[in-house]
Structure 1
Amino acid sequence: MSTQTYRALFDLSGKTAIVTGALGLLGRRFCRGLAESGAQVAVVDLDADKAQQFASRLAQDYGTRAAGIGCDVSNPAAVDHMIGQTCEVLGDIHILLNNAASKSEHLDAFFAPFEEYSLDEWRRVMSVNLDGAFLTAQAVGRQMIAQGTGGSIIQTSSIYGLLGPDDRIYQDSHYLGTTINTPAVYSASKAAIVGLTNHLAARWAKHGIRVNTLTPGGVESGQNDTFVKNYSNRVPMGRMAKADELVGAALFLASDASSYVTGQNLFVDGGLSAW
């Protein structure tokens, strides 16, 4: 194969990608990376107006088609409607970045100690992080099977879905002014994503649908200096990730460059999981 042929494996021209949680820290970068690589992008998030505004910006910046769609991924009817809208506007679906996740609207409840954690809060977070991933993968998988052309599904987990949190990192640590930790509901929901990925990878391989997990390490996103220092000291590369550093891995898994990769969990964590 020539160098040009290898480069072409990463070309997503003619493909349609759905990104859930598209207006978040990673979601916006995933959308931009997909659009720059030639894909049409369905920008999916709760706020339809903001999703449409960002989709318009993608189309303007990258010369591709994009659609902004409001969707509560924890609502089955909303997810089915989102799939219908995507197909109506952008055509067949080839890529899903199953990326939506919630810290809920109540940060104090979200970061509460495990011994005092509310079942209502647990269920609110799970309804997005796990139920939403299930519903979206199910709906997209059905559509891909009906199309008969295969596809790639990428599900965002976290290092804390595979590793226990080091509480020493969180001593005197804050995020946007709030004292933080890693709640058990977050760890449990992200661990479940890995299990769901493996199940679907085995189930849908016969349909040409690849399903993989993308597992980020800690990403710079407004934590205070104490947290950044503490976290960085736990990472062989000595720093937190920048959001853009997740995009290359997502594009690899979305494209034909990973055509024989399914049921895998790709860590992008600066080596933290190696220690």
Structure 2
Amino acid sequence: MKNFDLKEGYYIVTGGLGLLGKQHCEAISKFGGTPIIIDINHLEFQDFYRYLLKKYNKKAVLFENDITNEKSVKEVVDKCKALDYKIHGLINNAARDPKVTEGGLKNKNRLEIFPIEEWNKDLSVGLTGAYLCTKYFGSYMNKNYGGAIVNISSDLGLIAPNQELYKEDTLNSENQPVKPVTYSVVKSGLIGLTRYTATYWPKKVRCNCLCPGGVYNHQNESFLNKVSNLIPMGRLANKDEYMPAIVFMLSEASSYMNGAILSIDGGRSTW
């Protein structure tokens, strides 16, 4: 369908070399757009660049800029202007998030001992970075071609984390691993940023929020069994299952969608 077309457009993806970031970039490429990745993890870029070029005949662009630094974000905007990249969209995807692996949740970030330094780092990437990119790329789109902003929140932006999921039988209660407080704060904050931005440039820049559920990513069997029992569909998402939503939210297919919070979590936040 033509209104899902992203051709001729350039789309900013922060954290575009992460697990879901790559999927967002692939979705853009598949529907004819060019992903502009802002990520400090440059080591994976060349392989990913070749993958997109071979599969979709689309080139990707990488800027190794720090989204927590205002001067650095403005530098990317200036480079895009100089290169005549017609920015039509922004995905605020970058975040610091301790992952559940085969060995469990590595970061034991209990609230009582959570370092203020970690709080500042997490909010700096997840919220300050999203704010700065919205400030500069949003205003650029408003003054030029218009476009869409997609903020990547989480099902845990809608509900509290169930800390029982991360428990380890060999540890006492004071040493149990937990999902850090900053994850909920950042993901909830992105929902607020979405609503604010949606009403700020409503004639030319739409802003919506995607709240994905958990994704299969080499988690241990115990965790998978426990979290699957909290999801009506009985499973986590495959990493590519959010791609259609990304295309929809960036494209003219969602032309009357603004300020929406789209939950795709297998029904978890419904229970």
> Would the TM-score normalized by the shorter structure come out above 0.5?
yes
CA positional deviation for 1:90:
5.6
Question: Which residue does 1:3 correspond to in 2?
Answer: none
Q: Which of 46, 52, 56 is 1:58 aligned to?
A: 52
1:1-275 to 2 correspondence within 5 Å? Answer: 7-48=1-42, 50-51=44-45, 53-89=47-83, 91-103=85-97, 110-147=107-144, 149-172=145-168, 180-206=177-203, 208-275=204-271
- In structure 2, the CA distance between the partners of 1:261 and 1:108, relative to structure 1 (3 Å rule), is closer
In structure 1, what is the Cα distance between the partners aligned to 2:267 and 2:39?
31
Cα deviation digits, residues 93-137 of structure 1 (max 9, x gap): 001111000137xx9995320011111110011110110010111
CA positional deviation for 1:160:
1.1
Count of aligned residue pairs for this structure pair: 261
Paired AA for residue 160 in structure 1: L
In structure 1, what is the Cα distance between the partners aligned to 2:70 and 2:199?
24
Is the Cα–Cα contact under 8 Å of residues 38 and 63 in structure 2 kept in the other structure? yes
The structure whose RCO (Cα within 8 Å, separation 6+) is larger is 2
CA positional deviation for 1:249:
0.8
Is the Cα–Cα contact under 8 Å of residues 13 and 36 in structure 2 kept in the other structure? yes
Cα deviation digits, residues 60-111 of structure 1 (max 9, x gap): 321123211112111111111122233434611001111000137xx99953
Is the Cα–Cα contact under 8 Å of residues 72 and 79 in structure 1 kept in the other structure? yes
CA positional deviation for 1:154:
0.2
Paired AA for residue 217 in structure 1: G
Gaps of at least 5 residues in structure 2 are 99-103, 170-175
Question: Which residue does 2:172 correspond to in 1?
Answer: none
TM-score (norm 2): 0.90
- In structure 2, the CA distance between the partners of 1:166 and 1:222, relative to structure 1 (3 Å rule), is same
Is the Cα–Cα contact under 8 Å of residues 110 and 121 in structure 1 kept in the other structure? no
TM-score (norm 1): 0.89
In structure 1, what is the Cα distance between the partners aligned to 2:63 and 2:47?
10
Percent identical pairs in the alignment equals 36
Gaps of at least 5 residues in structure 1 are 1-6, 174-178
